[in-house]
Structure 1
Amino acid sequence: MSKPIGLSNGVSLIDVYDLGLPKRTGSYVIHDEELTVIETSASPSVPYLLEGLKQLDLKPEDVKHIIVTHVHLDHAGGVGLFLESCPNATVHVHPRGRRHLADPSKLIQGARAVYGDKFDKLFDPIVPVPEARLQEQEDGSQLKLQDRELTFYDTPGHAKHHFSIHDSKSNSIFTGDTIGVYYPDLLEFDEELILPSTSPNQFDPESMLESLSRIERLKVNAINFGHFGQSTNPELVYKQIRNWLPQFLEVSEAALVEQKDADLEKQIAAVKSALFKLVSSHLDQLGVPREHKVYQFINMDVDVCALGIVDYIAKVKS
C-alpha cells in the first residue's frame, strides 16, 4: 500500500483502497493528543487503515474519536469493525445516522439489493456500533481537542444524514461527498476535476447548493474529500460544482424525455450514457485518453449518479 500523505497542520491522509482501488476513498488522521480519525470506509478497508496508522507510528488504542461524515457504506461501513481495535474511541455521527450504525440491518438490506452477490466482497462484515460508544453531533456543535476545535455543520444534498467538519487549526473542512468527488489522477493533465455526487436516494440539488454556499462562507483554505484527497483551491471547487450540477440535471432530463415510454432500467441506462458523454467530452478536450485509469472511477460514479438523478426526478414529478 502507499504511504500516508502528510497534509498541513497535523493532518494525514491514508489511502484505504476502497473496492481494492488506490485513490478511491481516504481516511483522515488528525494528529492530536486526542487522536482522531475521520472516515473508515467499508470493512475490507479497515486493514489498510490499521496499517496506515502503524506507518504513522500511531496505535489504534490511542484513537479517541472516530468521525463519519455520513453512513453510506463506503464511508462508514467499516466503523464497527475498526472500533473493535480502538477500545478507547467514541464514534461521532449525524443524528439521522446514529440508528443505522447501532442497527445496520437496513443498510445491509439496501446494499444487498443493489450489489447482490458482490455484497460480501465489497462490504462484509458490517458490525453494529454499541449505543454507549455513539455520540450524536448537532449542527454547530464543537469537539474540542488538545490544540484545535472541530465544528460540525449539517450539510445535506448528497444525503440527509451528512455533516461536514471544520478544523480550526488547518482551516480546512472534511466534506465527505457533499460537494463532490475529486479525481487526483487528472492532476497530471493540470486538471482539478470535481464532479457532484448525486447518488440515491436522498439527492437534492437545491440542498447541495445551499450546503456549498454554507461551506463557502467559512472561507476555508482547503477541502478534504472522501473521494479522494485535498484541494487547496476551494474557489475552483465551488465553481465546478455550480457548473457541473445543472449540466448533470439538464442532460439527464433530456435523456428521460427521449425515454419517457421506456422501463426504468432503460431510463437509468440512458441517463448514465448522457452523463458519461458529458464528462468524457470534457476529458477529451483535455487530451485524456479513454483508456486512462480515471475512467474506472468515472464509469462507477456516473452509474451511481444516474440512479440518484432518476430517483430525484421521479420524486419531483410525483
Structure 2
Amino acid sequence: MKKPVQLSENVFLIDDFDLSMAERTGTYVLTEEKVTLIETSASPSIPYILEGLQTLGVSPADISYIIVTHIHLDHAGGAGLMLQHCPNAKVIVHPKGARHLVDPSRLIMGAKAVYGEKFSQLFDPIVEIPEERLVIKGEGDTLEISDRLTLEFLDTPGHANHHFSIYHPLAKGIFSGDTAGIFYPQLDRDGIGFYLPTTSPNQFDPEKMLHSIRRFKELGIERIYFGHYGMSENPSEAFKQVESWLEVFFNEAKQIVLEEKHPEKQVEYITQKLYDKIKNHLTQQGLPEQHPIYELLHLDVTVSAMGLAHYLNMKIGGTH
C-alpha cells in the first residue's frame, strides 16, 4: 500500500493499482467540506481506495460525491461497489453515461470483447447503481463542494462520447480523465516528461479529441490531473506531445488499415509499429531498453491500436 500523495491544496491521489500495476490509475480525493472522489477504477481497486481514505482520516460515510469522468471500467467500474461503502454519497456522471451505470450489461460485454478470459479477474464485481443515487452533469454545469470551491464541468469527447472533464478553479487545474492522454510519472522521475494520447475503442474520434484539448488550452490551466496517472504542472508540453503523437498514431494506423484487411492483424501491426516508434523515441532520450515502463506502454498501445483500427474501418467504410 502506497500512502496517498498530496498534489495541491486539499487534493490527494490514491494509487488504485489497476491491473495490479502501480501508477496505472488513481483516485483523486478532494478534502473539502463535501468530500469528493474523482474516479474509482475497477472493483478490485476499491480496497486500495478504502485504505487510502483511512490513511487520510476520511470515513466513507463522509463522502458526498463520487465523480466519474467517463464510464470505461478502469474509471467507473468500481463506482457501484464503492457506493455500497458510502451511504451518503451520490455518483456524478455524464448524461450519455448514466444509463450504463444503472444497467452495466453493455459495458460488461464491451470489456469482455477486449479482455476475454481475464475479465473476471480484472473487473468483477460490477455493481449496478440505483438511479436515485445518480446525478447527471453536462456542459457548463457546476457542483459546489465548499464555500470556497465550485467545480465546473466541460463536455470533452474524443476518447469517449460520455466523457466530461472537471475544472478546479482554485488549483487552476483540470481533471482530464482520458481526453488529454496519459502521463507517465515513472518517466518524469527519470527526467523524461512523456505523454501519449489514449485512443481506445469504440468512441475514439481524433477531431473531437483535438477540439477538447483546444478547450483545455483556452482555460489557461496550470495543472492537469490525469486519469492515468497523476498530476503534471506542464500542460503546454502535455498538449504538444499528445497532439504530436496523435498525428503519428493516426497516420501509421491508417496506412496499415488500408493495406491489411484482417482486423486482428491490423491491431497486431498497429500495436507493433507504434510500440517500436515509442521505444525508439525513449531510448534516444537515454531510457534503458529494460525499463519496466515498457510493459505498461505495450498495454496502453495495444488498447489504443484497437480504437484506431475501429475508427479507421468505420471511416474508410470497410466492413471488416
Deviates more, 1:104-113 or 1:217-226: 104-113
- What's the offset of the Cα at 1:83? 0.2
Report 1:77-88 matches (<5 A). Answer: 77-88=77-88
Query: Cα deviation per residue 1:169-226 (whole Å; 9 max; x = unaligned)?
Result: 2111100100100111102331111100000000000000000000111111100001
Query: Residue 188 and residue 144 in structure 1: after superposition, are their counterparts in 2 closer, same or farther (change >3 A)?
Result: closer
Q: Which residue of 2 aligns with 1:281?
A: 280
Report 1:245-284 matches (<5 A). Answer: 245-259=246-260, 262-284=261-283
Q: Which residue of 1 aligns with 2:199?
A: 198
Q: Which residue of 1 aligns with 2:90?
A: 90
Q: Which residue of 1 aligns with 2:176?
A: 175
Task: For residue 13 of structure 2, give the secondary structure of its aligned residue in structure 1.
Answer: strand
- What's the offset of the Cα at 1:254? 2.3
Task: For residue 23 of structure 1, give the secondary structure of its aligned residue in structure 2.
Answer: coil
Query: Cα deviation per residue 1:240-275 (whole Å; 9 max; x = unaligned)?
Result: 11211101111112233442xx42111111111111
Report 1:14-93 matches (<5 A). Answer: 14-93=14-93
C-alpha contact (below 8 Å) 1:255/1:270 kept by paired residues: yes
Query: Cα deviation per residue 1:264-304 (whole Å; 9 max; x = unaligned)?
Result: 11111111111111111101101112221111110001100
| Residues in 1 aligned to 2:177 and 2:23: alpha-carbon distance in whole angstroms | 14
Structure 2 unmatched ranges of 5 or more? none
C-alpha contact (below 8 Å) 2:39/2:76 kept by paired residues: yes
| Residues in 2 aligned to 1:276 and 1:258: alpha-carbon distance in whole angstroms | 19
1:294 equivalenced with 2:293 (yes/no):
yes
Task: For residue 189 of structure 1, give the secondary structure of its aligned residue in structure 2.
Answer: coil
1:223 equivalenced with 2:224 (yes/no):
yes
C-alpha contact (below 8 Å) 1:255/1:274 kept by paired residues: no
C-alpha contact (below 8 Å) 2:154/2:165 kept by paired residues: yes
Task: For residue 125 of structure 2, give the secondary structure of its aligned residue in structure 1.
Answer: coil
Q: Which residue of 2 aligns with 1:120?
A: 120
- What's the offset of the Cα at 1:111? 1.4
| Residues in 1 aligned to 2:80 and 2:239: alpha-carbon distance in whole angstroms | 33
Alpha-carbon RMSD across the aligned residues, in angstroms, is: 0.9
Q: State the percentage of identical aligned residues.
A: 49
| Residues in 1 aligned to 2:87 and 2:136: alpha-carbon distance in whole angstroms | 19
Q: Which residue of 1 aligns with 2:311?
A: 312
1:140 equivalenced with 2:137 (yes/no):
no
C-alpha contact (below 8 Å) 2:13/2:29 kept by paired residues: yes
C-alpha contact (below 8 Å) 1:256/1:270 kept by paired residues: no
| Residues in 2 aligned to 1:290 and 1:177: alpha-carbon distance in whole angstroms | 27
TM-score by length of 2: 0.97
1:213 equivalenced with 2:205 (yes/no):
no
| Residues in 1 aligned to 2:289 and 2:125: alpha-carbon distance in whole angstroms | 35
Give the letter aligned to residue 126 of structure 2: I
| Residues in 1 aligned to 2:168 and 2:258: alpha-carbon distance in whole angstroms | 44
| Residues in 1 aligned to 2:189 and 2:174: alpha-carbon distance in whole angstroms | 25
C-alpha contact (below 8 Å) 2:138/2:164 kept by paired residues: no
| Residues in 1 aligned to 2:59 and 2:207: alpha-carbon distance in whole angstroms | 42
Task: For residue 189 of structure 2, give the secondary structure of its aligned residue in structure 1.
Answer: helix
C-alpha contact (below 8 Å) 2:13/2:27 kept by paired residues: yes
TM-score by length of 1: 0.98
C-alpha contact (below 8 Å) 1:189/1:286 kept by paired residues: no
| Residues in 2 aligned to 1:56 and 1:22: alpha-carbon distance in whole angstroms | 19
State the aligned residue count: 316
Task: For residue 84 of structure 1, give the secondary structure of its aligned residue in structure 2.
Answer: helix
Give the letter aligned to residue 302 of structure 1: V
- What's the offset of the Cα at 1:18? 0.4
| Residues in 1 aligned to 2:223 and 2:189: alpha-carbon distance in whole angstroms | 20
